[in-house]
Chain A
Amino acid sequence: MQIRDYIIRRLLVLPVLIIGTSIIVFALTRIGGSPIGIYLSHEMNPAEVQEMKERFHLDKPVPVQYFYWIKGVTQGDLGWSGVASAPVVDVFPKKFAATMELAIAAGIVAVSLGIALGTFAGARRNKLADHIIRVVSVGGASMPLFWFAILLLIIFWVWLGWFPIGRSDPNLFEAIAHPTGFYTIDALLAGNFAAFRDAIWHLIMPAVALGYGATAIIARMMRSSLIEELQEDYVDAAKAKGLAERVVLKKHARRNALIPTVTVIGLTFGFLLQGTVVAEIIFRWPGLGRWMASAVLRGDQATIMTYVMFTSILFLIVNLVVDIIYANLDRRVVLGE
């Protein structure tokens, strides 16, 4: 099967999966009780409460509520966020862009650093560099994110003052337009170098904090699978051709060592999204995570639904991408069978 056909087939299945997920998520949030509380205030009398219930269709049975929700979604209405005091649709894109910027930055840190460190350690098995990298990765895999983030905050913000917190310098942020919502990209589009530098500067600390755990997992996987590949006959055969150590490592062994690592990378993406909640709270990052945390605490179900739906769609797409990369690396894999 052609890779293109496979992608189309997977994309066709995607809506079914999304509807399935939405039913489960909707049911689960409603089990937590009616979301009416978030829309009410102390001054309202019973008649007004009733009116609110009718307005949000909360007087109907839950399955019917679901269809109202679906109807809203198709019309571009994701509900009213009590936390943001605004329609979810209005707030979501900006926050989503902020979170994605952070998650992607952390992903880049994790994938590039993880593969590089894992390769470096695997190629120098049991040497000093390997031991150091192993200690660092055990730290990354076992240290809780909130603790590591606070540690970074204390050292680099409080003591050294090297990195700022928050997402931006307000003046620079105001100075440029925000068509994409990604501060770094917007700054580049506006050609404003100071703003771009500011964006990167704010991004480094949270991205490192968030990416550390995933880096560790990827590096460990990469190291062990590279060590395994280096024992294979084809590595000796490649050396017997007179190839340089560098070519043997990069062209021959690393390529095959990436196969199991790519699967792990796909899984760590979920790990990253989950981590954004903690990272955003600690670094005062104005993204979905912080919004989400207050939404959960205050029972803002419209926000929760949107968040969970979006992250599941993202996860499904990431998995599709991982499958395609996997098939590209491991030629024995036949997609769709």
Chain B
Amino acid sequence: MSPDTIYSSDSLSGDLIASVSDLKVYFQSKQGMVHSVDGVSFDIVDGEMMGLVGETGCGKSVTARAFMQLIQTPPGVLAGGSIHFKSQKQCKKCTGSGCDDCSNTGREIVDLLSLTERQIRELRGDRIAMIFQDPGKALNPGLTIRSQVAEVFQEHRESDVFERAGIADTMSGLTSYLLKQYVRQETNFITKLLLKFPPFSLARKKVDKAINGLVSDALAETQIPNANKIMERFPHELSGGMKQRVMIAQAIACNPDLLIADEPTTALDVTVQARVLDLIKDLQKRHKTSVLYISHDLSLVRRVCDRVAVMYAGKIVETGDAETIFINPKHPYTQGLIKALPSMTHERGKLEAIEGMVPELIEPKAGCRFASRCKQKKANCDKTDPELKAVSNKDKSHKVSCFLYE
């Protein structure tokens, strides 16, 4: 780990919500280990929108999935690093008064990668939520919108459901047991049958109604018209934009601390893209959620994000303020990316492209990954890895990993 990173190894400074440090995710393949994510480090400041930019296959989605432990192992291998996350729970050591372990925040800091299945499940969908790239694929085609959005409340907001149903205090004995099974989706054949008949069916209907209310509120939050009607539909009956709104509603249902948006507009029509993007931005501002926004579109990221990290072939090549990176890119790859953006001032029929191909990530050699395509290549670019370092002493936040600036 480079010494000038702003986090220490097992804590977060006060204003950070999450910190990725030296994350390494490899995948086994017949040709060898694919180093998809190879030592990625970045921070997410509480309440900001952080952009992660890179072309297809550079490892940005893998990084995002690592937050939720959604990488299948095998073939995936978590080869190292950590993702520290500030949870809502009180710090165990100082019980909220602030100590060194929790950087005086009073909140427990966990390493998402080393949590057990049960612990990460508590965070998933509740404190950390994810919006997927293609809403057509990320919604189950066989279940109604209602039952899919409801699952978030059933999993994380059991007490809210009972409270809204108005039976929180009156429940007892068998009814309570059955309804809890029902909400937790743990019913078996017998309990399901029991819930179909009075007196249990009456309480169950109240619970259903409460869940309906929660779902319809969540859908209304994302400006879905006729939420009550949409609820009973199946995903294939909705348009792409509508489906993505459902996904967003599902993700923000529990008001998460961190929202991971994995190319949320890529699969949508251009006209819908802007509206979905505005929706995310608007929700982020209102709920003060931190967002990790993943995209291959630099201009899009500039529009919504506060800070940006540019990824290339499994590594972060440049990170800093969104505006700074756009106006004053340092890394040759970032420069190439920005040049490649089509704009009104371009001559017709002329579009810049970065020459060459993305290198193979199977057992990569030492040296800068971009060296083979770089026009400003120097002698040591092929031999040693450049480190991510601040560009100047004035601006510590703008960092680049390139020998040109050493």
- Residues of A at the B interface (CB closer than 8 Å) are 232-234, 236-245, 247, 251-252, 255-256, 329-332
Closest to B260 in A: A240
7 residue pairs bridging A and B, Cβ less than 8 Å apart:
A234-B139, A236-B65, A240-B125, A241-B250, A247-B185, A251-B143, A331-B142
B324-356 interface (Cβ within 8 A of A): none
Q: B288 near A: Cβ within 8 Å? A: no
| Contact residue among B68, B124, B140, B236 (Cβ-Cβ distance under 8 Å from A252) | B140
Q: B121 near A: Cβ within 8 Å? A: yes
Closest to B236 in A: A332
Closest to B155 in A: A242
A239 and B68 in contact, given A233-B132, A233-B137 (Cβ under 8 angstroms): yes
Contact B132 A238 (CB under 8 A): no
Closest CB in chain B relative to A1 CB, distance in Å:
16
Contact A242 B142 (CB under 8 A): no
| Contact residue among A234, A239, A241, A329 (Cβ-Cβ distance under 8 Å from B152) | A241
| Contact residue among A236, A245, A255 (Cβ-Cβ distance under 8 Å from B142) | A255
Contact B137 A240 (CB under 8 A): no
Other contacts beyond A236-B138, A241-B250, A242-B124: 6, CB < 8 A: A233-B133, A236-B70, A242-B121, A243-B185, A252-B140, A331-B142
Contact B132 A236 (CB under 8 A): yes
List, in ascending order, chain B residues with CB within 8 A of A238's CB.
Answer: 140, 151
Closest to A240 in B: B130
List, in ascending order, chain B residues with CB within 8 A of A236's CB.
Answer: 65, 70, 132, 138
Q: B108 near A: Cβ within 8 Å? A: no
Q: B126 near A: Cβ within 8 Å? A: yes
Contact A251 B137 (CB under 8 A): no
| Contact residue among B132, B139, B155 (Cβ-Cβ distance under 8 Å from A243) | B155
By CB atoms of chain B within 10 A, which of A237, A242, A244 has the most? A242
Assembled-state Cα–Cα distance A243/B186 (Å): 11
Closest CB in chain A relative to B182 CB, distance in Å:
13
A332 and B141 in contact, given A242-B123, A242-B126 (Cβ under 8 angstroms): yes
Assembled-state Cα–Cα distance A241/B247 (Å): 11
Interface size class of B (residues with CB under 8 A): 20 to 34
Contact B155 A241 (CB under 8 A): yes
| Contact residue among B124, B139, B142, B143 (Cβ-Cβ distance under 8 Å from A240) | B124
List, in ascending order, chain A residues with CB within 8 A of B117's CB.
Answer: 245
- Residues of B at the A interface (CB closer than 8 Å) are 65, 68, 70, 117, 121-126, 129-130, 132-134, 137-143, 151-152, 155-156, 185, 234, 236, 247, 250
Closest to B156 in A: A242
List, in ascending order, chain A residues with CB within 8 A of B143's CB.
Answer: 251-252, 255
Contact A234 B68 (CB under 8 A): no
Contact A234 B138 (CB under 8 A): yes
Closest to A231 in B: B72
Closest to B185 in A: A247
Closest CB in chain B relative to A201 CB, distance in Å:
25
| Contact residue among A233, A242, A245, A255 (Cβ-Cβ distance under 8 Å from B125) | A242
Q: Which 10 A-B pairs have the closest CB atoms?
A: A242-B125, A241-B125, A242-B124, A233-B137, A237-B138, A331-B234, A234-B140, A240-B130, A233-B138, A242-B155
Closest to A241 in B: B125
Contact A243 B142 (CB under 8 A): no
| Contact residue among A234, A237, A242, A256 (Cβ-Cβ distance under 8 Å from B122) | A242
Closest to A234 in B: B140
Assembled-state Cα–Cα distance A305/B140 (Å): 47
A329 and B142 in contact, given A239-B70, A242-B122, A242-B124 (Cβ under 8 angstroms): yes
| Contact residue among B125, B141, B236 (Cβ-Cβ distance under 8 Å from A256) | B141
Closest CB in chain A relative to B127 CB, distance in Å:
9
Assembled-state Cα–Cα distance A9/B142 (Å): 25
Assembled-state Cα–Cα distance A89/B247 (Å): 61
Assembled-state Cα–Cα distance A245/B186 (Å): 12
Assembled-state Cα–Cα distance A242/B65 (Å): 14
By CB atoms of chain B within 10 A, which of A232, A240, A244, A331 has the most? A240
Contact B151 A243 (CB under 8 A): yes
List, in ascending order, chain A residues with CB within 8 A of B138's CB.
Answer: 233-234, 236-237
